Amino acid sequence: MKVEARVFDIVAIFGFVVATVYAVLTAQMTEDGIEPIGTVALLLTGGLALLVGSYFRFVARRIEPRPEDHEDAEISDGAGELGFFSPGSYWPVGIAAAASLTGVALAFWQPWLIIVGIVVLLITVAGLVFEYHTGPSH
């Protein structure tokens, strides 16, 4: 997870540097001063990348180092089972449709459709999460 944390930290630094350069250049080149929308968007991009990088750093301290975290790791060190992945599930299609429905409802501000979209979205997410749940094993 340390590699991923470094990547997001680099993106965060880049976002903050670009936001600063953008704010200075727009203040100098326009009569209106600093352009707020682009500056805020770049600052938020840096902030979100910093948030994700901090999460990865937090998780990296609590788990065993992976082969990706070692400088001298070989490809064969990462061999083995990575987990269970569904061979064919239709739940992601339902989630996408429900998210699209909710997005359209928000765009046209239809409160009843927003509620329907959120309910369908929650149902499809629960379906994906519990697709292979077999219940407690006693």
Q: What is the pLDDT of residues 2-55, one digit of tens each?
A: 889 999 999 999 999 999 999 999 999 999 999 999 999 999 999 999 999 999
Per-residue b or e along 23-57, where b marks 16 or more CB atoms closer than 10 Å to that residue's CB: beebeeeeeeeeeeeebeebbebbeebbebbeebb
The mean pLDDT value for 105-122 works out to 97
Among residues 88, 90, 91, the alpha carbon closest in space to that of 122 is found at 91
Among residues 40, 44, 39, 37, the alpha carbon closest in space to that of 23 is found at 39
Q: Does residue 120 surpass a pLDDT of 80?
A: yes
The pLDDT value given to residue 87:
82
Q: Which helix (H) or strand (E) holds 87?
A: none
Q: Which helix (H) or strand (E) holds 135?
A: none
Phi and psi at 86, nearest 5°, equal -65, 130
CA distances from 114 to 77, 110, 127 (A): 48, 6, 20
Continuous H helices in 61-133: 91-107, 111-129
Phi and psi at 131, nearest 5°, equal -60, -40
